[in-house]
Amino acid sequence: MSKLKLWFVQTMMISFAILVGIIIEGVVYSVFMGEDLASFNLSWLQLLSVVLTGAFCSIPTLIWLTDNDLPKSKFIIRLVLHCIGLYVIVSLFGLLFKWYQHIDGFIMMTVIYFLVYVFVWLVTLWLYKRDDNKINKALDDIRDEE
């Protein structure tokens, strides 16, 4: 996968996952805090901040995780650095765009961050596995023709 395509796919997955996280947060506040779900709304600036966050969070992926020939220990170290780096980016964007006002909002954002992180990794692994299966099937078809 080209780096530009990887950046775009990661941006879209992260942005979508953040939006799902925001929806989950709204439902949680509605159910457990008694807030009116009908009053929940997103401004164009908040939507833009989600896309910008997705774009900025895709950059460390291109830097740290595109080398496929790493030993497992170095990959795990890079994965931990990746997770921490993205957490810093998301926290700074959250502060800048006022995604949270109080400590409970920051805690909720942190929980949602880790849920989004796991979601994006699972989808990415699924996409790679699907591509591997397509390639293997194509190779098997070529072998069958010979």
DSSP states along 38-55? GG----HHHHHHHHHHHH
Is residue 86 within 8 A of residue 57, CB to CB? The reply is yes
pLDDT at position 55 over 80: yes
Asked if residue 129 has pLDDT above 80, the reply is yes
- Predicted local distance difference test score (pLDDT) of residue 65: 63
The pLDDT > 70 percentage for the chain reads: 95
Does residue 73 have a pLDDT over 80? yes
pLDDT level of residue 24 (50, 70, 90 thresholds): confident
pLDDT at residue 52, rounded to an integer: 93
- Phi/psi-derived region of residue 35, left when phi > 0, alpha when psi is between -120 and 50, beta in every other case: beta
**Which among 5, 3, 12, 4 is positioned nearest to 123, based on CA atoms?**
12
CB 109, CB 14: distance < 8 Å: no
